[in-house]
Chain A
């Protein structure tokens, strides 16, 4: 009997390739390509008076140099701004940049000119020779400056407000006014960024013989890039193939598209008749991809003597950078997901999405949830402190109960659907996290440490994460005559272990050896209908679609085999790739043979295929391919859920703060996580480890240090402090809870982003607990903690 793969700790098959350096990334394809480089604005806000490229034109080895003026004559749509990918009725003043700046630049790093040369060295030499004259404009940097609106980023956007959005359930103001106790809090999270080890990259080749464009890009959505490139370059969609090879991390930034280079590179490849490649360098990634997280929040909350929320009113300000290509997804998520596992009483939320002269914002793992979690959990801690109650008691009394599922919040989520939790067991989760971290024993530990002159604190934070958003994903499965199973799904993979997890699903449903299953992702030639890899959706969406397609493949295999074996379909099973009568090993035929039989042939090409030729198979009185059937042992299906499925989790952390140096050390980190049924616990735990590491970065190390002029002061790995392995906890205690989702056939929920969400909230709580004064802004460095101590003890 085949061992069930779903739920097994199967080692990731892709890792052998990755750890041996055999991964194949965009920069590895088209080694013969010309190289592109981009001249980027050195100023945060300026009018472009003139651009002089004369000194580049006769440079040996330079093949093209373009500015905005060159684009429309090459492809009319290239003269238009880049797409606004996710419009929203409240995004009244959405703005996007041009592929190359037209008249004005709005952040340091905005693309101004594009050079193609024999190699990147020459291309960068050429950039040095381009002379641009600017009229400097005052820069708007930071949320305070954006709110003050004494200067404007876009002169036709009053108040720097791209959007103002409001949602409510009940009368929060009245509920707060009538509440026995009220508190107000001001809470802030700074900017950070996804910072994948592989930056952006694009390579393109124009196939003159076939009139086709082949594009490789390091993206989270190959179908999105394909549609955008076809539209912008004026090509038929059927003439554009987009292939996403191995991707060295995405974390959200690569869901934005098309980047200027994703259009300019294929345009150049077509024009020059040569392969062209752009490989982003690290400084470019800092100043010309995307950031996230920067938000200020003001909370008004009303509650009763037990800490029960009666009314919650949140007003916040989101820094969206210079443009809004990805719409309002991040602040919409904050505004809805900050509620976490709690019932807020009456709720009102309003946000402004504000322009600044800084790099654009797109979702970064967690996507607005770390901010929302910080707001809600800081509020919970503030209530507990005010009432003198244990922090877990206040949380407990506000939790949504399992028998209240599905729980409707009366709000609209980021996908335009109702914010309705499908399942979850938050009280059990709270019990588990308290046990895992040793919550009830902590005061003893604190006293022991205090006796040694050491200072420790404990904190806890909970989140709920809408995962697996629509609209859909699909899968196409082909069983070859060798019995090998080839699976294509259209979303992309950037290191999550999809080859392993998806193959597990196929092995179980189709009854084939795991080793025989090959997964292809992100190749529009194999699956042109797809959305992308974001919002912790790959397992839920493509996993479900693959499961459904495997089911169809199996049904077809059984139909064909039933005829060949002269048996009833109901009596057959597939075990280890062989269709057999149930419980009778040795009675059956291999799936490869079934594949042969599925495809009536005129011409044999090997011994096996002789069985499918016209004098050997079929009833000569019937059509070789029966009505309603198709040749080939294939299955194709799509999964499109009514709404998101909601995963949840709680993190707890114990920190030590040095009384002298204010250094912050992690003593223990505990995670309880519920993503429904686990496909592969090892992969889920790996996702949690990576997420926690990014959470540590966001809480204690990473920030975007812009100066007042809009120059990013730390645009390198020397000064942007991504935590090393030495900065993340050496062990993370993990406990799972499996509350299946009723929304998909496998009962799964997303797990990709979860680990990062409660980091800042949990660390702030633990540091506050150690120090005895409120922590209201994250991240926090030892220097800042030192300053806070001075302020509070003055």
Chain B
């Protein structure tokens, strides 16, 4: 006998005793038809899912707006790969800034190398105007070795984290400064030690209130990845 009618095989999947005897016999001996019955049985078992949840009403317009705004020929893989990591990590523009600053740091080193003794202009001497509202000693992570200090300073309308680090080692890469939330779940980059071991970073005051009080200095290789490298060389909790 030629293969059974798929509809009759679907009937067998629903009820093995249902259907003409010759079809049942055939389905028992023909691997192809038996396979189709098994496939139908599998589909039947996939039924039962709860109702689908539509996305929020506004999303449709967002999709269409994004499509209309960005409807230029784009390499396919790029937006897909870039979007989530950019959202979760440091914004791309900041990565650009980081790259530019890394370049500046390189220039600075070059100047030191040629014997210039000028103090870098970008870093005002710490400890001038303003009120220190919190401070901490920085230490190495694997020992109590001192690594300088950090303070949170409030002036009239700005709030800055001042870092005066020391003995950060000579591992290649830029030194990036982070605030880690005491909840252990969130962290944010506040900038780079662009030149030397000192830096001053304006931050929104809210950050401290939200628990971003752990100052962390990392070594960041020039690998294009804007997230924390995992290599911390100094840390202290502002109190």
Q: Do A and B bind each other?
A: no
